[in-house]
Amino acid sequence: MSTGVETKEFQTEIRQLLDIVIHSLYTEREIFLRELISNAADAMEKLRYTQLTGPEVKDKDLTLEIHIDTDDTTHTLTITDTGIGMTKEELVENIGTIAHSGSKEFIKHLSAKGDQKDLNLIGQFGVGFYSAFMVADKVTLYTRSYQMESQSFVWESDGVGSYTITEGEDLSRGTKMVLHLKEDAYDFAKEETVQRVIKQYSSFVPYPIIVNGQKVNTVDALWIKNKNEITDEEYNEFYKFIANAHDEPLFRLHFSSDAPININTLLFVPKENLEQFGFGRTEPGVNLYCKKVLIQEKSPIVLPEWLRFLRGVMDSEELPLNISRETMQDSALITKLNKVVTSRFLKFLDGQATSEPEKYKEFWEKFNFFIKEGAANDFTHRKELVKLLQFESSNTLPGESVSLANYIGRMKEDQTAIYYVNGPTREGIESGPYLEVFRDKGYEVIYTYAAIDDYIFGAIGEYEGKKLISADQSDLDLGNEQKDRSELALPEEEIKDLTEWIKEVLGSKVTEVRESKRLVDSPAVVLSPYGTNSMQRMMQLMNKDSNDVGPSVLEINASHQMIKRLDKARKNEDTFAKIAAEQIFENAQIAAGLIIDPRGMVKRLNEILERALG
């Protein structure tokens, strides 16, 4: 039997801490198990290190493993490790006092607030050993240090004001903690509960965790291992485990670095983008670890939001296990991790675009929206992201694409800018009026099918010193010599009268009607007085009920038969001229991708048909 019971008071801060721990309803209190397992793993890590470097240790052949035993009848949970153990002095020092001044301050702040229910904070702060009192109303700890002449001690407390230390019976090296569970925590004396919690938080702890005789953590922490020692099958199995996936990943990136920050990362790009299939917004899927212990599952802050499709893990020794979500948000360390890993991943993608073009194409087809979202919003990585963008163009085949760098590489000698045009489809763009002048000059034009493309181009303005210019820009200036007016074109005087007349007919729908210098085959084109039509298209998309596209600039082709006939009809005071002018204008709006109220048009088209059929 043990003798010499010594009762000791907890340090003030610990009393405050325990008071909060005991009297609060903490929703994620199961993390106590993570804290205790990680203490046990730390103790064994220290033992291993001592064994390698220091003096002889007690029970040197004892296997390093963590045993957890549940007892549903006595409602106890016992956690045993074969780690470094504690001497009596260490017990007093480590478990009765808090040395760290930051922690002291934090606890003071918490108890000053008086809000004992504000426990999310404390849970995230990580209360280590004391978290045991979230679930237990009595904790008994048996421990024996690794030092050869050490004795065994029993520490016990109800977590209220004091604890006792008693000399214990002869134990083998390590620590055994018995948690006498509170009634509302009896669940933790059930094997299934304990197994579930361990799988969630401690799957990759580097020592075996054995629950009631059965090993629970069977998955290796691959990300810590050397790449050469891992097979493709192992990587794929690991991916399936952490991503809850059934197929294999499209890409994987495994890297470790020590500078500028210690980091081990294993990232996967899944085979499919579920957002594409209308599954709603993808949740982030990268878990944050510190030395293989889970800090935050599916962390929303460790990578930018536009990388939410990635699955995997990031592990940094530099992270404190107890980092709270609040501190994490503005932790310089997290910002650094985020930046380093994001840049590394973008560099990886850039490399894949050249080394594995087919696979990259598949990636681009499925995940391009995320890259674009990043290019639109993430100023920190915009440059790297824009480099990855791919577009169809007037020089590519359907389904093939070109990057901005490739585009520049094959620009015409006299060409000074990068040109792009927006439209819903390739056919739509190619049958429209905007390409005509570029075809004529032999300039390649990028096709942007999504409004976000135009937004990105508008936001970056230029790439590698070349301006990005929308082909429907109203003041488009292709720089070099204007083409002579065709001999077949209406004389300038007449065109002047005609444009004035059209302006009168269309009224406030146009700000200006003028002769075009860009048209070859089309009779007319609308341009935006704001620069490009994409702004108007976007406003229409956002405001679906509105058919009001705002006023446009209308340019007409003075050589086109239709325009010449329109002029003739106008001069003959044919009432049909007005109808024709309105239809020409609306046809041009449709070609610009603007949505027109179809009701008025149907009536007009019927009139036109009637007339055409005689």
Ligand X SMILES: Nc1ncnc2c1ncn2[C@@H]1O[C@H](COP(=O)(O)OP(=O)(O)OP(=O)(O)O)[C@@H](O)[C@H]1O
Please report, as ranges, the residues that interact with ligand X according to CB under 6 A: 35, 39-40, 43, 81, 83-86, 94-95, 126, 128-129, 175, 321-322
User: What are the tokens at 101?
Assistant: 């001044």
94 assigned to a ligand binding site: yes
175 assigned to a ligand binding site: yes
> In the complex, what is the shortest distance from the CB of residue 42 to ligand X, in angstroms, rounded to a whole number?
6
101 assigned to a ligand binding site: yes
Closer CB to ligand X, 44 or 421, in the complex: 44
Residue at token pair 């995230």: 124
Closer CB to ligand X, 83 or 523, in the complex: 83
Sheet holding 311-315, edge to edge: 251-257, 263-269, 311-315, 285-290, 293-296
423 assigned to a ligand binding site: no
Closer CB to ligand X, 21 or 524, in the complex: 21
Assign 81 to helix, strand or coil.
Answer: strand
- Cα 512 to chain center, whole Å? 45
- Cα 108 to chain center, whole Å? 36
479 assigned to a ligand binding site: no
> In the complex, what is the shortest distance from the CB of residue 36 to ligand X, in angstroms, rounded to a whole number?
7
Closer CB to ligand X, 85 or 304, in the complex: 85
127 assigned to a ligand binding site: yes
> In the complex, what is the shortest distance from the CB of residue 124 to ligand X, in angstroms, rounded to a whole number?
11
570 assigned to a ligand binding site: no
Closer CB to ligand X, 79 or 222, in the complex: 79
Helices 576-591 and 561-571, interaxial angle, to 10°?
150
Do 9 and 162 form a contact (C-beta atoms < 8 A)?
Answer: yes
Checking 48-53 for CB contacts under 8 A at 24+ apart, the result is 50/84, 50/146
> In the complex, what is the shortest distance from the CB of residue 323 to ligand X, in angstroms, rounded to a whole number?
10
Closer CB to ligand X, 103 or 377, in the complex: 103
Closer CB to ligand X, 94 or 193, in the complex: 94
Half-sphere exposure of 605 (CA within 13 A, CB side): 7
270 burial (CB, 10 Å; 0-12 / 13-18 / 19+) is buried
81 assigned to a ligand binding site: yes
> In the complex, what is the shortest distance from the CB of residue 62 to ligand X, in angstroms, rounded to a whole number?
14
> In the complex, what is the shortest distance from the CB of residue 90 to ligand X, in angstroms, rounded to a whole number?
7
> In the complex, what is the shortest distance from the CB of residue 103 to ligand X, in angstroms, rounded to a whole number?
8
User: Residue number with the shortest CB distance to ligand X?
Assistant: 128
Q: In whole angstroms, what is the distance from residue 585 CA to residue 525 CA?
A: 8
DSSP string, 378-415: -TTTHHHHHHH--BEETTSPTT--B-HHHHHHT--TT-
400 burial (CB, 10 Å; 0-12 / 13-18 / 19+) is exposed
Residues belonging to the binding site for ATP are: 35, 39, 81, 86, 94, 101-102, 124-129, 175, 325
Residues belonging to the binding site are: 35, 39, 81, 86, 94, 101-102, 124-129, 175, 325
